[in-house]
Amino acid sequence: MAKSVKHILSKGSGLKVNGSLWIENKGERFFGPGPVELLEFIAETGSISKAAKKMKMSYKKAWEMVNKINAQATTPVVIVQSGGEKGGGSILTEEARQLIEYYRVLRERFTAFLNTETGRLKTS
């Protein structure tokens, strides 16, 4: 009789089904754990530049991430205030906060899915 997956992988008491989740448009990813973290740091620091540093990410990459999200939204989710590269600062719109909240709840449902699958892996 065929062995169960649990028995094939029975070495692993730390076995877990895990994954990542993102939103894409026509195959292009623009929202997921990275962008969420970046937006949260922008909210915290009021600056794309400071947020990029906290993420150990280049300023250019952080800008591209913000632009990608803005390009998918009906209105910008990050508002960049004038003042040059160092000054000015950036703020999140209410829409950005709603996207973050949406992702948090989505991720909760995904965690429930992963927990169910981890349980299934360990018992079946």
Instruction: By CB under 8 A, name the binding residues for a second copy.
Output: 2-3, 5, 7-12, 14-27, 29, 72-75, 77, 94-95, 98-99, 102, 106, 109-110, 113, 117, 121
Q: Report the nearest approach of a second copy to the CB of residue 32 (Å).
A: 9
The residues facing 31 across adjacent strands are: 23
The nearer residue to a second copy, 54 or 97, going by C-beta atoms, is 97
Residue whose entry in the numeric block shows the structure tokens 């390009």:
71
The nearer residue to a second copy, 40 or 117, going by C-beta atoms, is 117
Residues 66-78 as b or e (16 or more Cβ within 10 Å = b): bebbbeebeebbb
CA 86 to chain centroid, in Å, comes to 26
